Every structure is written in C-alpha cells, then in structure tokens.
A and B are shown apart, each in its own frame.
Chain A
C-alpha cells in the first residue's frame, strides 16, 4: 500500500521531470551553474549578471554566426553537492551538454572534473580551479584559462619588487613579505611557488593562515605588525576581504603595502571596508569601468530594452561584473573558433574542446569587440591550457579601481616546473599517458583522450 504510494510519487516526480521544457536543438545551450544566494551570493550576482548580459548582447546582434545562445541557470549556493547535481541536470537538457562549464568555484570544479572528462564537455576555470590542468597533455577537457594562482603569485612578487623600488623579483633579496591567506585549497595553492621563489631570490615569506570564514582577523594582523613585513600579500575570498582591510587599518598597517589576489579586489570587498580600503591594491585580468565600449554597448542595447540581468545597475562595470562579461566573451569566442572549423551550426562539447584548444584572443580582436584591455592576449594550445599567465594591478582610490601597471608576467619557467610535476603525479595516479601535442597541433591526431598506461 505504502509502497504503491511511493511508486506513485516517484512516477509523478519523473513525469514532472519529463515535462520540463527542453532546450531548442538549433540553439547553442549554455549551462550556468550560478549562485545568487548563500555566503558568496553577492559575488555571484555580479559575475553571472555580467555573463548573461553579454550573451543577451550577442543574441541581440544576431547570435554567434547566426546561432542563438540559450541558457538555463541552476542555483548551486556555492555548494559542491548542489554543483554536481546542477551539472548533471543541465547536461541532459540539450545535445551540447552545456557547451562549456564555468563553475566559478574551485570546489565545484574539483567535484565535476572527472565527470566533464567522461562526458567530453570542456571545464573552464578562469582564474581558479585545478591549476595543474594548464598541462593540456594530461587534462584534455580542463582549461584554467588566462592565468593560474601560481603565475599570479609570481607576478605579484615582481610587482612588489617594483613597488619597493626594484625591477625584477631578484631585487627582493633580504626583504620580508607576509602572506595572509584563506586556509583552504584556494589559499594554499600559491604556497609552493612562494616558497620556491623565496628560496631562489633570498627573501623571507611569513605565512599567516586565516581560518574560514575569516571575519575576525585581529590576531593575524597583530602577527603582521610584529613581523614588520615590507609588503603583505592578501589572499582572501568573500567576507574575509573587507574584514582583513578593516583589521589592517586597526593595527595601522598601510594599505599601500597590501596587494590582494583577484578574488580580493572587487567593489564588494572594498566598499564595505569604508575609507580604510583606500590605497589597497589587487591583481586583475584587465581594466574595468563603465567607459569601456563593450560595457557601454551592453547598457545601450540590453539595458535600454529593459532586458538586463542586474537589478542593481550601479554594479555594471564593476570588477566582478566585468569578469562575468569576460566569461561570456570567452565562451562565445571559443564557439566562434570551433565554428570556423566545423561549420556555422550548434557545436558539441568535443568541437568546443577543439575551439578552446585553438582559442586566440589578442588586443586586436578585443578592440573589435570593444573590450580592449579587459584581458591579456591569450593563445591556448594543446600543451598550454592557460594561454597567457599575465596579470595587471589595480588600486582602489576610495571610489573606484584604477589600473596602475601594465601586464606583468611572473617566473613562468619556475611555475611550470611545479605545475608539470603536479600534473605528472596526477597521471601516475590515474595511470594515463600524455597526449602527443605535436600530433594534435599538426591535426594528424584529433583524439582528445588519454591512453591508459599498460598494466603492471
């Protein structure tokens, strides 16, 4: 009896699932694993708002070579389990399997890494996620695009050296740098490269972890004050950022000697910290602001038609919003690249993988799109799934972020050595062989799959 009821309930539920509208087959369907509630909801609203606005703009202008974009959002709450569920749910909605997945969360990236590989859907992690995936020989479907945490940390050191009057990282000799970080996979990612750099260039790194969520940091900043570092690298996310800026102000550490990771350098972080944030610097992909032609275009086309995704229009042009626009831009450019080879139609995950592996976005192309300076020149290949590795730095003047440097590049050789070792270890554990990138580039081998190592 009860069992019957359960069966009936199950049947009813599955009927509901089946009755859901499926995406149009002649549209390019994009899965959006978004988060608009929960601890990082505020950040998610800007990122996904920018991304959706860009796709709306592309559609308003006729789509990608005539192919319209459609998308569906699924709320992940920045929660790994929900992210997996959303990925699986949206995957079944169209033959594109979601085009490419940007989880905008390191945790979710890890959770779906294996699944995207099995499903042949590219997993794109712009500035977060599994960084050793830059080695495309072992990670055919994972793309930590633009730059990784390691390259960024290395570039930061160069930047600090320049701020302290030097030129290269080597000029940091004898200096002391404090590394205040979110004590998680995200915060620990750059530790290895910082240690290697400090051994190489003979400067000292003081590691100061902050436990999640990092709302109370007085103790850590007392530690900073005692250590008297020449500079502080601040590696936070979410609520930790504004709390850190306020704590720095409290102990009297100058914000002009603080540089943040790009997840610590948005209006969402500096505005709540009030005047205490003035002078603080952070890494970023490129310029931001409302004056960029592309952003203006979005306002004129999308918002004039009352189609915009942002409820709070003052956030248009903010750091995270611009980053969202870049997510859209990279998605569309990869589709376009793939279309140039496979024809002007809806692309599958495998075709997009090819598109991403041959993606080339330079300032000329960005200028055509009205987005000059929004990101560094990026050229992805089979062997290099990062494509650039450069970052620029920006400073908060109390009301907005201003660009203060050109693109800087860290010690690529050093970082690549570390990442390669990590990727090799992954391959050993997984018992896979590297792809032959020379053959892939020459086009003689199209397969984007790793062969298994022979059994012992």
Chain B
C-alpha cells in the first residue's frame, strides 16, 4: 500500500543507479538518520548510549569490515579482532607521540591496521577457504602477542594496558556519552556509505568476481593479487577504525587481551547471522549478537516473576545462552543467507501486498 514504487520513473542513469532507487526507502533512511542524529541524543539515557548504541555501532563497523573481506571478496578471515587491536593501539600511539587530533589519529590507526592486514593477507594469494582462515589465525595470535611483548606499543605499561587520552574536535570536548555517540555515529555512517559505494563500483565488482570464481576473474583480466590485497586492506582499515572507536568512545581503557580470538569469532558470527555480502546485514548481525543476549537477560527475570517463579540468576544466565544458541540455529535454518535476506524477502512481499502471486 504505502510501499509501492508505481509511478516512480527514472529518467536519468544517475537516478537509476542511486543507492535507494525507491522513494519510500529514501524517506525511511532519511528518517532513520534524523532519528539517530537528532532524536536519539535527545531521548536516550546514558545506559542506552554507552552500553547499547555505541558498542552496537562499533561492532557494526567491524562487521562491515569483515563483510567486505568475507562477504564480497570471499576471503575467510579470523583476524578481525587483531586488526581492531592494531587500530586501537595505533591511534593511541599517534595521539601520545605526535599529539595529533583524534580524527586523523583514528584514520592513521586504521591505515596501520590496513598495512598489517595486507601483510597477513599475503597467504590468500596461495591458499583459500578454511586454510586461509587458519592462516589469518596467525594474525590474531601474533598481534596480541606482539602488543604485550613489546612495551613500546603500550608506552611501557607493565601489563600492556592503554588508557585513552581525552578527546576534542576543534576545541569541542568529546567526553559525554552523547558526544561520543555522535562521533561514533558520524564515522560509522560515513564509512558505511563509502562501503556501499565501493561495493557498487568497479572495485566491488572485481571483489565479487574473485569471490565467485577466481580463475574466471583472472581470465577476464582482474588482477588477483591487487584485488585480494585491496580487500584485505579495506577490510582491516574498517576493523582498525572500529578498534580505535572501541578504545576511545566505548571502553576508555583497554588491554590487548580484549581483542581475543573470541571477539574475532563473534564478528564472524555477526557476518554470518546478518547476511554474508550485505552492508545492511552487518548492522542486523551486530544488533542480533550484541543486543539479543542483553535483551534476553533483562526480559527473562521479570518474565518468570510474572508467573510467580523465583528463579536463580545462574539458571537465567544458562537459559539465556541456550535460547540465544537456539535462535541462531533457528535463523540460520530458516534463512541461511542471514537476516538481510529475510529483510529483503519482507520488502519484496510488501511491494506486491495485498496480492501475492
């Protein structure tokens, strides 16, 4: 009814190729951004901002990074957390040693991660699939080991912990949850827009060609080495910026052990649950993996209270894990292409509603 594109004619190539060709989508995304930038800071309290929305955005960005690599370029990686760590420690050192403004420091942190990403992406030229995943595991262990082993990275803190310096942009201090949220949101939106455009461009198309069949891609003239390494670089850059944001806007004090293999797996699950090869899916995946356990945790207790059952915290925690696991299996069984695919199906259905065929 509302969601109908009848009468929307495209008269130029530009109109036909835009990110959201349907007017309703454009309005919806505009509204969403307006709510995120203007509405949320007005209504959300500290808990929502610093415990839910900021981590959600940061992990959505990291997921986006891995999705570029795994979803679009078809290279499996288990090193996302390591690249986040490089970004975080990189940004910290740029600010500490060069007294740099934060935005360039974040970007340079991301570039450091990109360099490390290229280095650990080199094996991808020879190996594929699960074997590559194992090779990227090396990044995971090496980076965390290196950051603890060499004191220089953490300014010789005895335990390898870094503390984020105070932030300001053009003299405006970034210290409240609202300002941190807005900073994160701005960076994530811009990078997401960039990613969306990248995957629609020549670069993204060569990634997808390599993903679908690398021999064929090579035959039609796509340089494999350049394409694969570019995917590693871009992906690690995104993860690196996410890591810097995690250190500066979310936690404040981080140890290298925060960026463990567990975190890498979590990001990979976000990609799989959200939708492999989908920008929107990255946000869905992050929301699912981060928000659902919290939601379950909050809801279960009152829910049992409603039926007059007083239940111990331990049982609730175990139930939360079981329900969470069950839901992952359920969603993957119902739609192996992830939540993004479900969303797409929903949209298709809406377009022809109420006359399905």
Contact = CB atoms under 8 A, between A and B. Distances in A.
Interface residues of B, number: 57
A344 interface: no
A85 B299 contact: no
Interface residues on A, range: 35 or more
B251 A80 contact: yes
A340 B312 CA distance: 35
A307 to B, nearest CB: 12
A188 B160 contact: yes
A192 interface: yes
Interface in B1-17: 1-3
Nearest to B320: A75
A431 interface: yes
A36 B253 contact: no
A425 B155 contact: yes
Contacts of B189: none
Nearest to A149: B159
Nearest to B255: A185
Interface string B234-266: 000000000000000011111111101000000
A300 interface: no
Interface stretch (B42-50, B207-215, B270-278, B332-340): B42-50
Among B165, B252, B314, the one with the most A-chain Cβ atoms within 10 Å of its Cβ is: B314
B169 interface: no
Contacts of A89: 47, 51, 298
Interface in A1-53: 1-3, 13, 16-17, 19-21, 34, 36-37, 41, 45
A254 interface: no
A418 interface: yes
A84 B258 CA distance: 13
Given A92-B46, A429-B96, A84 B158 contact: no
Nearest to A20: B302
Contacts of B32: 3
B300 to A, nearest CB: 10
A21 B2 CA distance: 39
Contacts of A110: 161, 251, 253-255
A106 B159 CA distance: 11
A81 to B, nearest CB: 6
B121 interface: no
B157 interface: yes
Contacts of A420: none
Main secondary structure of the interface of A (DSSP, over half): helix
A278 interface: no
A185 B2 contact: no
B47 A92 contact: yes
Interface stretch (A111-119, A170-178, A388-396): A111-119
B251 A84 contact: yes
A425 B51 contact: no
B28 interface: yes
A189 to B, nearest CB: 5
Given A92-B45, A111-B254, A430-B165, A37 B159 contact: no
A431 B166 contact: yes
Contacts of B155: 425, 429
A77 interface: yes
B318 interface: yes
Contact of B161 (A36, A130, A431): A130
Contacts of B295: 13
Contacts of A426: 163
B298 A188 contact: no
B258 A107 contact: yes
B159 A188 contact: yes
A16 B298 contact: yes
B335 to A, nearest CB: 16
A310 to B, nearest CB: 11
Given A114-B253, A430-B165, A431-B165, 13 more contacts: A1-B3, A2-B3, A16-B298, A19-B302, A20-B298, A36-B317, A75-B317, A114-B163, A184-B257, A185-B161, A188-B159, A191-B158, A425-B155
15 contacts: A16-B299, A75-B316, A84-B50, A92-B46, A107-B258, A114-B252, A115-B50, A115-B252, A130-B253, A185-B257, A192-B158, A212-B260, A425-B156, A429-B96, A429-B163
